[in-house]
Amino acid sequence: MTLPISPVPGITYSPTKRRFVSSSDDEILDEIDTSRSYRVGWPKLAPLPIRTVTSGAKQAIGESAESLNRFYELVRSMLEGYALEVTRTSFAYRPPMMQQANDNNDYLSLVVQISGAPSLAQLKNAVLDIRKLFQAEEQTYGKLMIEIINDHAFRNGLIHAFPLDPKADEAILKEQTNIFNLMLSEIKAKKEHWLLLRLSRRSVDGDPSHGFPTLIVETPSADSPDWVTICGNVKRQCFSHKIKLNVEVIYNNSLYSESGDDRLREMVPDDLAREMYMGSSMGRHGIHHSGTFGGTVKLEDGKLYALSCHHVVGVDKEEHGETGLQKELAELSLRQGRNASYLRQSDGNSHGVVSPSDQDKAEYETATEEALEGALRRIEEDKKWAASYNAVRDDARNKLAVIEAFETQREAGTLPNQSTRAGEASEVTPSDSEQFLLDWSLTSLAEHRLNLNAHEVQVIKYGRTSGFTCGEIFPQRVLINPDLPKWAGFAPYGFNTSNQGTAVEVQFKGGEKNSTCFIASGDLGSVVLHKKTGKWLGLIFGSTAEGEGLMTPIDLVIRDIEFVTGKKVVEPIFEEEP
């Protein structure tokens, strides 16, 4: 088994070298990035999704606060001359997500947030005038990029997506397969890479009636200039058949939810309790990787199993022990700045599953030790305030004692059953045109953890990292490239370029705390439930670049479980639609 969290081999992100020199009006206009109607700038902007880093941005300009404020007002008055409603002007680094966090200098930008929906001509003229203003102060502002972006898009960090409208988008729905094939042929002609193809209505303000049908391509080479040609060709050919369609290119090199922070949402007493619950952290013993316990499956022999994804806790049949896996994960941990000491060698329990995962247990323990160390240092350094830190010290000591005592209880069970793979018989594919990924695993639960309970289900998913999040299931299918992510465990499924993988997309519609996406890293293996009835609908195995869930329908998972185990699943009860 190879865990799907390392970069695509042979594909590295190399940002386009940016040219910051004085240019003629025509040259500036030619270099303006107009690939998105809600985000225009100069020169070519970083591919979405991107980060906003404000720390150190103003200081990098080298001007006083008073001078910068005068500059803001000048830009604002200039844009108001084009009837643009400016809501905020600021300096920030706007690097792409794939860029190293400490390498932002090429992305220092003047960011202008606007409301409304101005014409492309208005936006291009505004960018031109700002660039000419920069030319007059080349020494100070010549290194800056220019980005004018819709205020909703900037503040939300994403564009609202909705299913295609059966009436308004009838022509697109009828031609969906042909549209996908057209894009695939253009990609092949340019020898580009792709990960996902999906269709939706994209709306900046959250109103689906204001949205526009959009073909979204997720790719690890989003910064390649070839995509301008590819997207232009696809739009022209669609338009020639009276199909109006936007095309957006988004960076992504993993289906396995690298969006956001991969830390456990928050360690709570339930995470160190004998009884596992829906949303519990779980993982392979000895591996610094986490996923989610989706729910309990009972077979006809009466035994209970924990359902999650194969890539979270599974073992390929040809794998023995940790062959090659420990080395890969150790290298990954070093690249990500993690403590490689977390990668403990398995003590003979190579197929063992633990809850919470080794990653979460180690990080919680480290954070508690740091809190204890800080409290002891303050008590020693400042006797006057020692009493106020005694409670912090005692709390940390108690937590460490609980962690140590629970270590012998952390075993969740072993892994007797997992998904069918290529070369193995399986009869669960619903049609020749839809090849869903059967990425599941059943962990035979240890006796001391059999009393499983589920939180009261009021939303559609409860995950290890993001907790409760609500979503909407899209009727349009997502197409998955089976060749690109061979490192991600796709190869065993036997897909090829003429037999792509398929997934159901679950769109984020809200969640607890500060959730901004349906799926975050560590949530994979979560079960999707019907919001009103609590019925199981699917198993989350991956995500899009924007944090939307990728799901396999639960009936296919259950049928494959029954095929592999030779036993009927009696819980949960799945009723076939008449």
Burial class (CB in 10 A: 0-12, 13-18, 19+), 242: exposed
* 570: number of Cβ within 10 Å: 12
Q: How far apart are CA 178 and CA 184, in angstroms?
A: 10
Question: What pLDDT does residue 65 have?
Answer: 84
Tens digit of pLDDT per residue, the chain (578 long)? 223 333 343 444 444 544 455 568 888 888 888 888 889 999 888 888 888 888 888 888 888 888 888 888 888 888 888 888 899 998 999 988 766 556 677 889 999 999 888 888 889 989 998 888 887 777 777 778 999 998 888 876 667 788 888 889 999 999 999 999 999 999 999 999 898 999 998 888 778 888 889 999 999 888 888 998 999 999 999 999 899 999 999 888 777 655 444 555 566 655 676 677 778 888 888 877 788 888 888 888 878 888 888 878 876 544 433 334 334 434 433 333 333 232 233 333 346 888 888 888 888 888 888 888 888 888 777 777 677 778 888 888 888 888 888 887 888 888 777 776 544 445 555 444 567 777 888 888 776 666 544 444 334 788 888 888 888 888 788 888 766 544 444 445 556 566 677 888 888 877 766 677 888 888 888 988 877 667 788 898 888 888 888 888 888 888 888 888 889 998 887 655 43
Strand partners, 542: 550
Question: What angle, rounded to 10 degrees, do the helices at 386-406 and 358-381 form?
Answer: 160
- In the structure encoding, which two tokens stand for residue 524, read together? 């994979």
Residue 258 corresponds to which tokens in the numbers above?
């690298």
Q: Residue 143 has which token pair?
A: 């290194």
Nearest in space to 307 (alpha carbons), one of 550, 526, 528, 529: 526
Tokens standing for 386?
């020692």
Domain boundaries, the chain: 25-156, 161-258+454-571
Measuring CA to CA, how many Å separate 387 from each of 305, 367, 369, 382, 400? 48, 22, 19, 10, 21
Q: Look at residue 512 in the predicted model and tell me its pLDDT.
A: 67
Say what the pLDDT of residue 305 is.
85
pLDDT in tens, 359-393: 888 888 888 888 888 888 887 777 776 777 788 88
> Helix, strand, or coil here: 195?
coil
Task: Order the strands of the 295-299 sheet from edge to edge.
Answer: 291-292, 281-284, 352-354, 411-418, 441-445, 304-308, 295-299, 569-571
Cα Dmax for the chain:
79
Buried b (16+ CB within 10 A) or exposed e, 154-175: beeebbbbbbbeeeebeebbeb
The 3-class SS string of 387-414 reads HHHHHHHHHHHHHHHHHHHHHHHCEEEE
Q: What is the pTM assigned to this prediction?
A: 0.72
